[in-house]
Structure formats: C-alpha cells, structure tokens
Amino acid sequence: MNIEDIKKEFPIFDNKVQNNDLVYLDSANSSQKPKIVLDRIYDFYSKEFSNVGRSVHYLAVAATNLYENTRVSVQKYINAQDKNEIVFTKGATEAINLVANTFGQKYLDEGDEVLITELEHHSNYVPWHFLRKSKNIKIEFAEINDDGEITLEAIKAKITVKTKIICITHLSNVTGAILPIKEIVNFAHSKGIPVLVDGCQGAPHLKLDMQELGCDFYAISGHKMYGPTGIGVLYAKKKWLEDLPPYQGGGGMIREVKKKGISYGDLPNKYEAGTMATAQVIAFNESIKFMEAIGIENIEKHEKELLDYAIDVLGKNNSINIVGNPKNKGGVISFNIEGIHPHDIATILDEDGIAIRAGHHCCQILHDKLGLPATARASFGVYNTKEDIDQLNASLNNCKKIFNLK
Amino acid sequence: MNLKELYQEIILDHGKNPRNLRKTDNYNKDAKGHNPLCGDNVHVFLKLDENKKVDDISFEGSGCAISMASASIMTDLVRGKEEVEVKEIVKDFLDMIKEKDELNSKLLTDDEKTKLMCLSGVKQYPMRVKCATLSWHTLTSAIDNSQEAINTES
C-alpha cells in the first residue's frame, strides 16, 4: 500500500498548521477523517435525510436502510454472530456505561467485585466507581509488571469468588501493551465470569474477531477508527442483551406503552432510545469500508513498522525515556525527557506543526503507579510515515536545545 | 514574542532556577494549588507583618516551565507590597492573561511589567493558561485564608 496515496484521502493534510505541514501523532486520542466519511455526512443530510425507524415515507425508509446497513457492516467487520449484537452508542464511553449500568443493576450487590486493571482509561473505571458509591461494590485492580503489561497471571491473582465481571482494555493507550484477551476470557469463563473489553485502541489497529476473542462485551469508539465523533458501538453477546434491562428510556426502544405498564422493543431497538446519531452511524459505514479497502492486516503491519522505527530512533536519543516495554505492543509511545515537562514538550512541538498529546491520557491510576505526573505521547495512524517520526525526533532535539539539555 | 522566544526567556531566567522555591519560616498564611491536567502542584507560603505587608513569600512545588516561572516571577514582585496591593497586582495579572492587552497597575514598575508580559504568550494556548495562573489563584487563596485547595479543574 502507498501511504502517500492514503494520506491524500485525508483533507486535513492539505492545510498548513501554523505554516507547517501537519505531523499528526495523536491518533490514539482521535484519528483524522478520510474525505469519503465527510462526504457521506454531507450527502446524507443534503439528499437522504429523515429520522430512522419511525415514519413510513420514502426518505424514512431509505435512512433506516442506510442506518441498518452500518450495523451489518460492523457485524461482519468484527465477526459477530448476529447483527442484533451490535448496539450503537454515542461512543465507547457510553457503551461501557451501558454495561456498568444494566449489568450492575441486575447482577452486582454489596461486596461483589469488579476486576479492572491499572492500565484502564478513566472510561473503564469511573462507570464502575458509580456502582462502588451506589451499591457498595468493590473494584480490584490487576497490576502491571515492570514492562507495563497485564499478564494472565496478574488477572488470575486478583480473581476471587466475589469477582462478578472482568473489564479490561484490549490495547493500553499509554504503554501500548496488547492484552492476552483470548487467554483471559478462557480463564474467566472457566470460572463463570463474563469479560468486557474496552476496544477503543484495539478496534482501529487490530484484527477483530468476536468468535475468536470470545468476550461477552466489546466497546468500540468510532472517532478513533477514522469515523465521525458521536458514534460508538457496544458489541454484546445476544444472551446478555436479551437478559439485561434497558439502559435509557424513550422513543424507539418500546413495544407498547400503557398507563399501567410498558413493554420494551426487540433487539437492537431496546438499547437505542431516542433519535440516534443517524448521520454519524451512516458515515461510520464508510470508515469501515475505508479500513477494509486497505486491509486491517496491512494497517497492523504498517503501524508495527512505524513503531519499531520510532522505538529505534527515540531509543537512541539520549534523555528520552520510553514508558513501558511490552512484548506485544501497539502504535503508541509514551515518553519523558528528564528536565522538560511533557506539556512544555507538546507546546514546543506544536510550533513545528507536530501534534502529540501530553498529560495523564485519562489514566491517572497508571501514572500514579509509574510515579509520573504526566507523559508525552506519540501515537500512530495509517497515514503516518517514517518521515513523521524523523520530524518528531528533530523537534524533540530542538526542545532539548531550548532547555539547554545535551 | 513567539513561543520559542518566550520559552527561552522564561527558561533561562526563571523556569530552571526559580526564585523563592523554599518554605518561609514562621509563615502565617499558606494555600495549595493543583492542576490535575498537567500534574502541576504549588504550595504558597506568606508571612505578613503587623501592617499586613508581605515580609516574605515563597513556594514549593513542581510542574511545567510556565507554571514554575510564573510562580517565581510572582513571588519576586509581591514581596514588600501590602495585602491590598498584592490583590490589585493579582487581579491585574489575571485580567491581562484572560482578556486585556496590557497591565495597568501603577504598583508595577516597567521592568516588572515586562517580565509579566513574557507570560502573555500563553494566551494563544488556552490549555496552558491554567499553568500560568495556578500560583496566582493559590496566592489569592492564601491571602483570603480560604482553606480550600485550588484545583484548576473544579
């Protein structure tokens, strides 16, 4: 595949950022969008718009079909058994909140334990914390090893008879560690414990096969997959979606509403209350087609090459300390330069048109554990090149010069 | 002044060797500030004499160059000022960082104004404004003796 051609599909790279060509190294935060996704939003609103699933007129039927087409695309993309196992949400955060809320309501009581890891993004901790407050449940943290990984053993060490659900990231947005999901799921299931996977970083970068992974829930963020903001997916095994109570109440999710009682709609409507992010869902189909056209194996291979190159280049640069050293690692590099605060690094790099992230990356638990108030982070997408990494390195050297570091 | 110049000036002058980075003996007012986004921490110590004049001011903490330099410059220029004067200077600085083009307080010398205007460069970076203002808000909290820690995210 030709990266320069792929990059041309992203209009954002046509523009200068502060008179520089954009070097975008913040895809773990949110990815840029190809033109086909942007065009799809415009076309939908200008030619096909109507609300879905309600009216019977021509546009309503057309919009409903387009909306449902995305569901089928996602089902195929992640190899779910049934299209009704795909629930649209406003993002991965809402997908996790949906599970925490409904699973918590039905299956968690005082003293029960939810097992998460020290790598989790706040979105896979805070929703469970709500249950700690409201139901007095406990949250246990599987601990990272010195390489910033979570092993199956680390999970096993924290499982007790009280563990009711295990909620883990697929790929850490800080250390880049890819967790052994299949092994963890197999072990958890042998103990009768369901597993939720936060796939925010997994879905854009790794081949997904729900039958292979075997997890009960998988949360996906659309805007990290070259798609629009405001769209996410909760994959859940059908038995869970049938078993758990509804999440939000409103139009679209009901079957019959009487003064004395209400019955809820069938899947997937049961979990999609109110008017959904219709245009975003429809445009998300184009993101999936975009990734399919390149091939997730090619994306993985390209990002692995970038990662290896970046580790080599930055590793040779004195005074850059890379956080974590996982054997199985995705395209994320968090680092520090001794003597320069990460926010100062990010601001100085920004002057050169290089976009990185600095801070705790919504992972304060992990940063506390590492004893670091913040880190700088470069993360890759399909449009990045080795030249981007060379520019990053050159700009980091400039930072060191400004701060009088050797 | 572009950002790199701003950085160079601040780093060379204050960021690397912050003034008053210590703890005042017998301080009678203090307050803590925290910026969870950056992980910046500052603890300001004040010693006011019987006439409510700043006999000594110091700070402890860690953070980015902008937050450290801002605390350093601030502590340097409020020493010897009366409490009401300190408040006027703080207000003038915060107004400048928020919206105004310049500093107006007659209590500041031209040299002091020049130093403070170095920090005006953060205006174009809204995410960094909090770094520059953290110690100033914390100073206000110390003067008002409000026991609440300053948190830029609350």
Specify if A332 maps to a domain. Answer: yes
Q: At A404, is the pLDDT very low, low, confident or very high (cuts 50, 70, 90)?
A: confident
Q: What pLDDT is stored for residue A167 in this prediction?
A: 98
A108 and A129 housed in the same domain: yes
A353 and A256 housed in the same domain: no
Contacts of B69 in chain A (CB under 8 A): none
Tell me the per-residue pLDDT of A140-198, one tens digit each, with 9 for 90 and over: 999 999 999 999 999 999 999 999 999 999 999 999 999 999 999 999 999 999 999 99
Specify if A32 maps to a domain. Answer: no
Beta carbons of A379 and A358 less than 8 angstroms apart: no
Q: Do B38 and A364 touch (CB under 8 A)?
A: no
Beta carbons of B73 and B14 less than 8 angstroms apart: yes
Whether B11 shows a pLDDT value over 70: the answer reads: no
Whether B153 shows a pLDDT value over 70: the answer reads: no
A150 and A211 housed in the same domain: yes
Tell me the per-residue pLDDT of A230-280, one tens digit each, with 9 for 90 and over: 999 999 999 999 999 999 999 999 999 999 999 999 999 999 999 999 999
Token pair belonging to A401: 């010069």
Specify if A168 maps to a domain. Answer: yes
As a three-state string, the secondary structure of A11-63 is HHHHCEECCEECEECECCCCCCCCHHHHHHHHHHHHHHCCCCCCCCCHHHHHH
A213 and A305 housed in the same domain: no
**Secondary structure letter of residue B14 according to DSSP:** I
Strand partners, A236: A217
A341–B contact, CB cutoff 8 A: yes
Residue of B2, B16, B38 lying closest to A343 (CB–CB): B38
Specify if A362 maps to a domain. Answer: yes
Q: Which domains does chain B have, with CATH numbers?
A: 3-143 (3.90.1010.10)
Whether A226 shows a pLDDT value over 90: the answer reads: yes
Nearest residue on chain B to A345, alpha-carbon basis: B64
* CATH number of the domain within which A317 lies: 3.90.1150.10
Residue written as token pair 């190294």:
A25
- Report how far Cα A78 is from the mean position of its chain's Cα atoms: 14
Q: What pLDDT is stored for residue B146 in this prediction?
A: 64
Q: What pLDDT is stored for residue B154 in this prediction?
A: 57
Beta carbons of B11 and B128 less than 8 angstroms apart: no
A369–B contact, CB cutoff 8 A: no
Give me the mean pLDDT over the B73-81 stretch. 93
Specify if A45 maps to a domain. Answer: yes
Q: Do A351 and B4 touch (CB under 8 A)?
A: yes
What is the arrangement of strands in the sheet containing A217-221, beginning at the earlier edge strand?
A86-89, A232-236, A217-221, A195-198, A163-169, A113-117, A138-142
Q: Do B3 and A347 touch (CB under 8 A)?
A: yes
Give me the mean pLDDT over the A327-332 stretch. 97
Token pair belonging to A160: 């007790």
Beta carbons of A136 and A110 less than 8 angstroms apart: yes
Q: What are B's interface residues with A at a Cβ cutoff of 8 A?
A: 2-4, 7-8, 11-12, 16, 36-41, 62-66, 125, 128, 131
Beta carbons of A325 and A147 less than 8 angstroms apart: yes
Q: What is the rounded CA–CA span in Å between residue A286 and residue A284?
A: 5
Whether A51 shows a pLDDT value over 60: the answer reads: yes
Whether B10 shows a pLDDT value over 60: the answer reads: yes
A387 and A320 housed in the same domain: yes
A373–B contact, CB cutoff 8 A: yes
- Report the residue count for chain A: 406
Tell me the per-residue pLDDT of A122-146, one tens digit each, with 9 for 90 and over: 999 999 999 999 999 999 999 999 9
Nearest residue on chain A to B68, alpha-carbon basis: A341
Residue that finishes a domain, picked among A265, A292, A319 = A292
Q: What pLDDT is stored for residue B5 in this prediction?
A: 67
A191 and A241 housed in the same domain: yes
A300–B contact, CB cutoff 8 A: no
Can you give the residue range of the structural domain that contains A99?
38-292
Residue of B3, B8, B63 lying closest to A341 (CB–CB): B63
Q: What pLDDT is stored for residue B147 in this prediction?
A: 60
Q: What pLDDT is stored for residue A373 in this prediction?
A: 86
A286 and A149 housed in the same domain: yes
Residue A320: which H helix or E strand, with range?
A: strand A320-322
| Cα–Cα distances in angstroms (integers) from residue A326 to residues A116, A157, A196, A369, in the given order | 19, 20, 22, 16
Residue of B8, B41, B125 lying closest to A347 (CB–CB): B125
A266 and A317 housed in the same domain: no
A361–B contact, CB cutoff 8 A: no
Beta carbons of A86 and A75 less than 8 angstroms apart: yes
| Cα–Cα distances in angstroms (integers) from residue A60 to residues A13, A54, A72, A349, B52, in the given order | 36, 7, 19, 48, 72
Contacts of A402 in chain B (CB under 8 A): 4, 7-8, 11
Q: At A218, is the pLDDT very low, low, confident or very high (cuts 50, 70, 90)?
A: very high
Specify if A33 maps to a domain. Answer: no
Whether A388 shows a pLDDT value over 80: the answer reads: yes
Between residues A214 and B111, the one the model is more confident about: A214
Q: What is the rounded CA–CA span in Å between residue A228 and residue B147?
A: 44
Strand partners, A263: A256
A367–B contact, CB cutoff 8 A: yes
Q: At B39, is the pLDDT very low, low, confident or very high (cuts 50, 70, 90)?
A: confident
Nearest to A148 by CA among A303, A306, A310, A326: A326
- The domain tally of chain A equals 2
Any residues with CB less than 8 A from the CB of A68 and at least 6 apart, and which?
A: A83
A306 and A221 housed in the same domain: no
* CATH number of the domain within which A180 lies: 3.40.640.10
Residue of B39, B64, B66 lying closest to A360 (CB–CB): B39
A2–B contact, CB cutoff 8 A: no
A237 and A101 housed in the same domain: yes
Residue that finishes a domain, picked among A292, A313, A339 = A292
Mutate to test the interface with A, among B14, B64, B124 (most CBs of A within 10 A): B64
Any residues with CB less than 8 A from the CB of A127 and at least 6 apart, and which?
A: A93, A96, A97, A99, A100, A101
- Report the residue count for chain B: 154
Any residues with CB less than 8 A from the CB of B111 and at least 6 apart, and which?
A: none
Which residues of A form the catalytic set? 362
pLDDT above 70: percentage of residues in chain A: 100
How many other C-beta atoms can be found within 10 angstroms of the C-beta atom of residue B151?
13
A216 and A186 housed in the same domain: yes
Torsion sign over Cα A333, A120, A28, A307? positive
Whether B152 shows a pLDDT value over 60: the answer reads: yes
What's the N-to-C CA distance of chain A in angstroms? 39
Nearest to A364 by CA among A123, A13, A168, A101: A123
What is the pLDDT of chain A when averaged over all its residues? 96
Q: What is the rounded CA–CA span in Å between residue A73 and residue A83?
A: 9
A247 and A153 housed in the same domain: yes
Residue of A351, A359, A403 lying closest to B37 (CB–CB): A359
Beta carbons of A303 and A380 less than 8 angstroms apart: yes
- How many contacts, defined by CB atoms under 8 Å, are there between A and B? 54
pLDDT above 90: percentage of residues in chain A: 91
Residue that finishes a domain, picked among A292, A325, A346 = A292
Q: At B19, is the pLDDT very low, low, confident or very high (cuts 50, 70, 90)?
A: very high
Beta carbons of B150 and B136 less than 8 angstroms apart: no
Q: Which pTM does this prediction carry?
A: 0.92
Q: Do A348 and B125 touch (CB under 8 A)?
A: no
Contacts of A374 in chain B (CB under 8 A): 38-39
Q: What pLDDT is stored for residue B99 in this prediction?
A: 86
